[in-house]
């Protein structure tokens, strides 16, 4: 086929017009996104790079000359050998596993219990939303007084049941961890309940109708239909709460302060102590980066799950 | 779309088609659940109206006690509660306005754009949302110190906004994606610019989503403790810090502390009890929508 100059130019024009149209359309979107991108790069990315840099330095805020000495990966090597870090990691894993497992089971149970749209259940649900909206610090303070050995209501009722907790749940090594886990469960189970409620409501009806026709029991419908269909929601909720649980700080600060001993010193709290009580900034930054990597791996998994759910 | 209320939800509910015995058991379980989640809050509210000796009474007096407003009078007279509340209001307002102004247009752009780079930048904000605050706080503290901004409202508002805006983008993106494009396209055909289509057409249709996002941002910034702990000065302490600052570790007046805590939870109570539709929407969309 012979192409004339005229044809070429109109093709070119058409192509140019398309580029121009794309530009004007996409350009506007870039402009809408730009202010936030600039802000985030300045306020979030720059500090994270800064943190990456000082993690290779020995840098104590208490040093009158503010000397920063380059020490290579020493801070990271130190973290690997530091028994307090390993303890903090172990404590964190216990805390995360304890909170997430209990909250998932309880949240699912609550969602099933309160799934109907009757007025009473909706009323009850609105009350259960309150804990997750509260400042975690206040939640910590309230539970601290409930746990108080002298006048707290929890040790009192435990004593009535014949259980003695000595200096109170928060001060006894065997009780402190379950006690702080219970606070987390109290505050965050409702979040899982709402996520599961939304998941339950989006389930298709057909499998249930078929199961009905087959005369399946409620239990087998739950095990064979509801649970498998709800699996994506459960996984997303699991990862979300795991990441949040890794970052617990306020309630620990308000209740045990990491004690007794280091039984409730989670990694996040330990990093704060290293940075803000010992002012060992380089080391604190390296520990924070380790936590960042753990969370990054979890969030990569989380995003993969969300992506798959979308398809 | 958001929080589906459909008829078939009754199909899987546990409350229907039950024997009388099961209904009784489930009702009792429900009551126990409500008690578990409500008693700590009830305890906080009643303690704020109790005299000291009754707050400490063993066995605890849940319902019958001498009612007093003395704790409130003392808190207003002896602490800087009004200053702390004002600081919290300034910080929350600043963070809310800034993160909505930055996050809502960005969420719209990501939802409407055809560009793959723009679309996947949503995940960048999701990752940002997951960053452990302490990892951001240590360098941010040093930078603010060098800029001599420690103890200012601005430092706290800016750091809150990083996380708040990331949440707003993530939430508004999925909200706008569910808003039908037809009206915007009609406006574009009539010669409106992309910005006008956003501002005049899409945004007014999405007010409920913006409200839900705003509610979350208000809660995040009002409840924040860690950032305020390191970035505020005695003059700019927000309410959680103020509560701690008003009591020494040795002697705590629980009645007064309960009053301060009560002030600190007012926004949470209002939002959870009266704006719970938006609140639920924010929780489910922020967490699970891809």
| ipTM for the assembly | 0.87
Q: How far is CA B155 from CA A156, B71, B136, B228, in A?
A: 44, 33, 13, 9
How many Cβ atoms are within 10 Å of B190's Cβ, its own excluded?
9
Residues A171 and A296 in one domain: yes
Contact A28 B103 (CB under 8 A): no
State the residue range of the domain holding A104: 73-310
- Structure-model confidence comparison of residues A66 and A228, the more confident one: A228
Q: What CA dihedral angle connects A70, A75, A77 and A82, to 10 degrees?
A: 150
Contact A130 B219 (CB under 8 A): no
pLDDT of residue A73 exceeding 70: yes
What's the gap in Å between the CA of B226 and the closest CA on chain A?
7
Mean pLDDT across A202-226: 84
Residue A68 within a domain: no
B276-288 and B207-223 helices, crossing angle to 10°: 90
DSSP A259-302: -STTTT--HHHHHHHHHHTS-BHHHHHHHHHHHHHHHHHHHHHH
Residue A292 within a domain: yes
Residues A43 and A79 in one domain: no
What's the gap in Å between the CA of B136 and the closest CA on chain A?
6
pLDDT at B6: 44
Closest CA relative to residue B2, chosen from B171, B165, B127, B201:
B171
Residues A165 and A268 in one domain: yes
Residues A147 and A240 in one domain: yes
Q: Nearest-CA residue of chain A relative to B263? A: A138
pLDDT at A214: 82
Contact A138 B257 (CB under 8 A): no
Q: What percentage of chain A exceeds 90 in pLDDT?
A: 31
Tell which of A79, A130, A184 to mutate to test the B interface (max B CBs under 10 Å).
A130
Contact A48 B139 (CB under 8 A): yes
Residue A61 within a domain: no
Contact B126 A303 (CB under 8 A): yes
Contacts of B254 in chain A (CB under 8 A): 145
Residues A239 and A136 in one domain: yes
Contact B103 A307 (CB under 8 A): no
Of A135, A285, A292, the CB nearest to B222: A135
Q: Please name the residue ranges forming H helices in A114-226.
A: 119-128, 130-133, 136-147, 153-160, 173-201, 206-214, 218-221
Residue A63 within a domain: no
What's the gap in Å between the CA of A74 and the closest CA on chain B?
19
Q: Nearest-CA residue of chain B relative to A25? A: B194
Contact B33 A112 (CB under 8 A): no
Give the CB-side neighbour count of residue B125, counting CA atoms within 13 A: 35
Residue A190 within a domain: yes
What's the gap in Å between the CA of A1 and the closest CA on chain B?
35
Q: How far is CA B68 from CA A213, B209, B252, B255, B263, in A?
A: 62, 42, 19, 10, 17
pLDDT of residue A25 exceeding 80: no
Residues A139 and A267 in one domain: yes
Residue A300 within a domain: yes
Contact A195 B272 (CB under 8 A): no
Q: Nearest-CA residue of chain A relative to B44? A: A142
What span, in angstroms and rounded, lies between the C-alpha atoms of B71 and B54?
A: 13
What's the gap in Å between the CA of A310 and the closest CA on chain B?
6
Of B43, B159, B261, the CB nearest to A146: B43
Contact B4 A201 (CB under 8 A): yes
Of A190, A191, A306, the CB nearest to B290: A306
Mean pLDDT across A267-280: 88
Q: List all residues 6 or more positions away from A281 whose beta carbon is below 8 Å from its beta carbon.
A: A54, A59, A60, A61, A275, B138, B142
Mean pLDDT across A109-124: 87
Of B4, B225, B283, the CB nearest to A191: B283
Residue A59 within a domain: no
Contacts of A249 in chain B (CB under 8 A): 133-134, 225-226
Distance of CA B233 to the CA centre of its chain: 23
pLDDT at B193: 84
- Structure-model confidence comparison of residues B53 and A249, the more confident one: A249
Collapsing DSSP to helix, strand or coil, A57 comes out as strand
Contact A39 B102 (CB under 8 A): yes
Q: Nearest-CA residue of chain B relative to A191? A: B283
Residues A15 and A131 in one domain: no
Residues A160 and A208 in one domain: yes
Q: Are A260 and A176 in contact (CB under 8 A)?
A: yes
Q: List all residues 6 or more positions away from B178 whose beta carbon is below 8 Å from its beta carbon.
A: B1, B2
Cα angle vertex A105, ends A120, B171, to 5°?
75
Contacts of B14 in chain A (CB under 8 A): 112-113, 115-116
What's the gap in Å between the CA of A292 and the closest CA on chain B?
6
CATH number, domain at A276?
Answer: 1.10.3720.10
User: Hey, which residues does A68 pair with through a beta bridge?
Assistant: A59
Q: Nearest-CA residue of chain A relative to B141? A: A47
Residues A43 and A181 in one domain: no
Contacts of A306 in chain B (CB under 8 A): 288-290
What's the gap in Å between the CA of B44 and the closest CA on chain A?
7
Closest CA relative to residue B218, chosen from B172, B258, B281, B268:
B268
Residue the block writes with tokens 């239990």: A219
Of A32, A51, A275, the CB nearest to B108: A32
Q: List all residues 6 or more positions away from B112 whose beta carbon is below 8 Å from its beta carbon.
A: A29, B176, B181, B184, B202
Q: How far is CA A73 from CA A61, A76, A272, B34, B128, in A?
A: 20, 5, 20, 52, 25
What span, in angstroms and rounded, lies between the C-alpha atoms of B133 and A243?
A: 12
What's the gap in Å between the CA of A48 and the closest CA on chain B?
6
pLDDT at B12: 47
Q: Are A251 and A139 in contact (CB under 8 A)?
A: yes
Q: Taking the domains of chain B in order of start, what are their residue ranges?
A: 2-48, 79-287
Closest CA relative to residue A275, chosen from B233, B232, B226, B155:
B226
Q: Nearest-CA residue of chain A relative to B123? A: A303
DSSP class of residue A114 equals T
pLDDT of residue A204 exceeding 50: yes
Mean pLDDT across A100-121: 90
Mean pLDDT of the residues in chain A: 86
Of A146, A205, A296, the CB nearest to B11: A205
Q: What is the pLDDT of residues A124-154, one digit of tens each?
A: 888 898 999 999 999 999 999 899 888 888 9
Q: What number does CATH give the domain B79-287?
A: 1.10.3720.10
pLDDT of residue A111 exceeding 90: yes
Q: Are A164 and B256 in contact (CB under 8 A)?
A: no
DSSP chain B: --S---TTHHHH-SSSS--HHHHHHHHHHHHHHHHHHHHHHHHHHHHHTS-HHHHT-SS--SS------HHHHHHHHHS-HHHHHHHHHHHHHHHHHHHHHHHHHHHHHHHH---HHHHHHHHHHHHHHHS-HHHHHHHHHHHHHHTT-TTSHHHHHHHHHHHHHHHHHHHHHHHHHHS-SHHHHHHHHTT--HHHIIIIIIHHHTHHHHHHHHHHHHHHHHH--HHHHHH--TTT--HHHHHHHTS-SS---HHHHHHHHHHHHHHHHHHHHHSHHHHHHHHHHHHH--
What's the gap in Å between the CA of A137 and the closest CA on chain B?
7
Contact B194 A47 (CB under 8 A): no
Task: Give chain A's domain count.
Answer: 2
Residues A37 and A92 in one domain: no
Contacts of B105 in chain A (CB under 8 A): 32-33, 35-36
What span, in angstroms and rounded, lies between the C-alpha atoms of A275 and A60?
A: 9
pLDDT at A6: 61
Positions in chain B short of pLDDT 50: 1-15, 290
Contact A50 B139 (CB under 8 A): yes
Residue A64 within a domain: no
Residues A236 and A306 in one domain: yes
Residues A111 and A186 in one domain: yes
Residue the block writes with tokens 């192409």: A3
pLDDT at B7: 45
**B123-150 exposure pattern, b = at least 16 Cβ within 10 A, e = fewer:** bebbbbbbbbbbbbbbbbbbbbeeeeeb
Q: Are B240 and B264 in contact (CB under 8 A)?
A: yes
Q: How many helices (H) and strands (E) does chain A have?
A: 15, 2
Mean pLDDT across A270-295: 88
Q: What is the pLDDT of residues A209-219, one digit of tens each?
A: 888 888 888 88
Q: Nearest-CA residue of chain A relative to B117? A: A30
């Amino acid at each position: 086929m012979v192409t004339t100059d005229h044809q070429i130019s109109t093709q070119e024009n058409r192509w140019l017009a398309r580029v121009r149209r794309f530009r004007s359309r996409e350009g506007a979107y870039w402009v809408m996104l730009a202010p936030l991108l600039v802000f985030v790069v300045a306020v979030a990315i720059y500090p994270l790079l800064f943190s990456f840099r000082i993690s290779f330095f020995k840098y104590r805020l208490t040093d009158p000359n503010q000397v920063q000495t380059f020490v290579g990966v020493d801070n990271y090597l130190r973290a690997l050998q530091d028994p307090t870090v390993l303890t903090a990691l172990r404590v964190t894993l216990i805390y995360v596993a304890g909170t997430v497992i209990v909250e998932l089971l309880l949240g699912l149970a609550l969602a099933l219990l309160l799934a109907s749209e009757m007025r009473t259940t909706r009323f009850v649900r609105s009350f259960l939303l309150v804990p997750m909206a509260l400042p975690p610090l206040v939640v910590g303070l309230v539970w601290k007084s409930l746990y108080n050995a002298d006048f707290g209501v929890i040790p009192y009722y435990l004593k009535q049941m014949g259980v003695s907790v000595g200096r109170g749940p928060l001060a006894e090594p065997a009780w402190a961890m379950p006690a702080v886990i219970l606070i987390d469960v109290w505050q965050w189970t409702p979040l899982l309940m709402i996520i599961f409620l939304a998941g339950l409501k989006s389930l298709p009806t057909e499998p249930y109708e078929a199961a009905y026709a087959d005369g399946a029991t409620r239990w087998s419908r739950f095990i064979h239909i509801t649970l498998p269909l709800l699996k994506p929601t459960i996984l997303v909720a699991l990862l979300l709460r795991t990441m949040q649980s890794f970052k617990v700080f306020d309630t620990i600060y308000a209740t045990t302060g990491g004690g007794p001993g280091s039984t409730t010193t989670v990694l996040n709290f330990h990093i704060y102590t290293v940075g803000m009580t010992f002012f060992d900034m380089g080391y604190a930054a390296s520990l924070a980066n380790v936590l960042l990597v753990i969370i990054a791996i979890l969030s990569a998994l989380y995003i993969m799950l969300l992506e798959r759910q979308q398809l | 779309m958001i929080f589906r209320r459909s008829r078939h939800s009754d199909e899987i509910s546990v409350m229907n088609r039950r024997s009388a015995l099961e209904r009784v058991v489930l009702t009792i379980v429900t009551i126990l659940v409500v008690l578990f989640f409500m008693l700590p809050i009830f305890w906080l509210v009643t303690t704020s109206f109790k005299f000291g000796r009754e707050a400490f009474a063993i066995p605890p007096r849940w319902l019958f006690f001498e009612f007093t407003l003395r704790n409130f009078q003392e808190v207003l007279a002896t602490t800087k509660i009004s200053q702390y509340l004002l600081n919290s209001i300034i910080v929350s307002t600043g963070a809310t306005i800034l993160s909505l102004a930055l996050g809502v247009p960005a969420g719209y752009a990501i939802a409407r754009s055809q560009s793959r780079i723009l679309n996947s930048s949503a995940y960048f904000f999701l990752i940002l949302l997951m960053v452990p605050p302490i990892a951001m706080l240590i360098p941010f503290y040093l930078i603010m110190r060098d800029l001599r901004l420690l103890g200012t409202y601005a430092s706290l508002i800016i750091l809150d906004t990083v996380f708040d805006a990331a949440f707003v983008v993530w939430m508004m993106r999925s909200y706008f994606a569910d808003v039908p494009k037809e009206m915007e396209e009609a406006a574009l055909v009539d010669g409106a610019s992309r910005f006008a289509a956003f501002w005049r057409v899409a945004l007014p249709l999405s007010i409920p989503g913006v409200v839900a996002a705003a509610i979350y941002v208000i809660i995040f910034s009002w409840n924040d403790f860690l950032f305020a702990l390191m970035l505020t000065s005695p003059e700019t302490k927000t309410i959680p810090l103020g509560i701690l600052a008003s009591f020494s570790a040795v002697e705590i007046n629980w009645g007064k502390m309960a009053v301060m805590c009560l002030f600190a939870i007012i926004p949470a109570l209002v939002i959870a009890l009266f704006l719970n539709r938006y609140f639920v929407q924010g929780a489910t969309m922020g967490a699970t929508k891809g």
